[in-house]
């Protein structure tokens, strides 16, 4: 079935009449993404980091909390990347810290996306008093500094993996909510939405199956970039000692060795460099998605 022009107008990334089928549309998007060399590099780099978290402990086994050599051993000796202030292997810490770091970031991003999409969709679709109330709640959370609010949440409750995830998730959803609201306000009066109402679709169906799929492109980009922000927030909390002491993350490695940076630079630099590479790869992927979904940027 050929899609109506009104619906296709809501899908600006579809360039031709025969590309309105979902599988064709996504193939075109993937081709545009692959045309961005930086995005492909970011995807490959992030894949390596994820594989390191999944398979690294099997390939490079060991206890990241175990003392394996003398403290402050320089890179290249008994430990490939050196040891920290009590003699723990830095490389083992980086390999074994990838999984909890990424798990925290992805879980917190999931909470952020769920809360942000729900609040933004309801505010943008219903408008009026619902919009005013939900945006008032959003503004209340938005004026609170995310890091400080997360610190308070973790400090009030017992520092644990779940507490850190919830703290990051509940303090980072406001940007997604505002973007979702803006997209729903733009799309709710379009002809294809009115057509769905005319055939008897209820509000839930219109929100989930009609408007949301057409609002997804910018939201996918924002949610992708949110993963990098969650990694940085987790690193900041761990740096301040507000994390689960039984779970080693890259941020914790930096926080525990921060007082010894000038004495042993590798204890902080190598975990920090891995965080930098991870956030950079996510930013490159986000840039590639922006190019793929935004036809105005494809010719850059």
Domain boundaries, the chain: 44-297
* 67: β partners: 88
List Cα–Cα distances, 169 to 6, 117, 119, 250, 273, in angstroms. Answer: 36, 13, 14, 19, 24
Q: Say if residue 245's pLDDT is above 70.
A: yes
Cβ burial, residue 263 (10 Å; 0-12/13-18/19+): exposed
Q: How far is residue 40's CA from residue 89's CA, in Å, rounded to a whole number? A: 32
Please give the residue that has the higher pLDDT: either 234 or 20: 234
Say if residue 40's pLDDT is above 90: yes
pLDDT tens digits along 180-199? 999 999 988 888 888 888 88
pLDDT digits (tens, 9 = 90+) for 155-184: 888 788 889 999 999 888 999 999 999 999
Domain spanning 44-297, CATH architecture:
Orthogonal Bundle (1.10)
pLDDT tens digits, 130-163:
999 999 999 998 888 888 888 888 888 878 888 9
- Length of the chain, in residues: 300
Choice among 74-78, 134-138, 205-209, 231-235 with the minimum mean pLDDT: 74-78
Tell me which residue of 35, 31, 28, 33 sits closest to 11, measured CA to CA.
Answer: 28
Tell me the sheet residues that pair with 89.
Answer: 83
The token pair at 31 is 């081709």
Mean of pLDDT over the chain: 84
Question: Is it the case that residue 293 has pLDDT exceeding 90?
Answer: no
Q: Measured between alpha carbons, how far is 274 from 250 in angstroms, rounded to an integer?
A: 8
How far apart are the C-alpha atoms of 184 and 253, rounded to whole Å? 42
Q: 113: Cβ–Cβ under 8 A, 6 or more apart, which residues?
A: 173, 176, 223, 226
Q: Provide the percentage of residues in the chain whose pLDDT is more than 70.
A: 89
């Amino acid at each position: 079935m050929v899609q109506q022009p009104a619906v296709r107008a809501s899908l600006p990334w579809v360039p031709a009449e025969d590309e309105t089928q979902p599988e064709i549309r996504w193939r075109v998007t993937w081709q545009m993404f692959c045309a961005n060399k930086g995005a492909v590099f970011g995807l490959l780099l992030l894949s390596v980091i994820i594989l390191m978290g999944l398979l690294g402990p099997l390939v490079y086994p060991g206890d990241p909390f175990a003392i394996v050599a003398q403290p402050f051993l320089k890179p290249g000796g008994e430990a490939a990347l050196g040891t920290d202030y009590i003699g723990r292997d830095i490389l083992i810490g980086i390999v074994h810290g990838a999984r909890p770091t990424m798990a925290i970031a992805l879980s917190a991003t999931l909470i952020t996306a769920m809360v942000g999409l729900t609040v933004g969709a309801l505010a943008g679709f219903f408008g009026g008093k619902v919009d005013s109330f939900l945006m008032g709640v959003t503004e209340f959370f938005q004026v609170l500094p995310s890091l400080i609010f997360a610190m308070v949440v973790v400090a009030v409750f017992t520092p644990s993996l779940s507490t850190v995830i919830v703290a990051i998730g509940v303090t980072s959803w406001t940007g997604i909510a505002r973007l979702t609201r803006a997209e729903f306000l733009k799309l709710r009066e379009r002809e294809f939405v009115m057509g769905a109402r005319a055939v008897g679709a209820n509000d839930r169906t219109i929100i989930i199956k009609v408007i949301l799929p057409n609002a997804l492109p910018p939201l996918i980009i924002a949610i992708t970039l949110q993963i990098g922000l969650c990694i940085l927030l987790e690193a900041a909390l761990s740096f301040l000692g507000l994390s689960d002491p039984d779970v080693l993350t890259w941020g914790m490695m930096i926080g525990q060795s921060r007082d010894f940076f000038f004495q042993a630079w590798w204890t902080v630099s190598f975990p920090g460099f891995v965080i930098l590479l991870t956030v950079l790869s996510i930013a490159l992927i986000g840039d590639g998605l922006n190019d793929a979904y935004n036809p105005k940027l494809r010719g850059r």
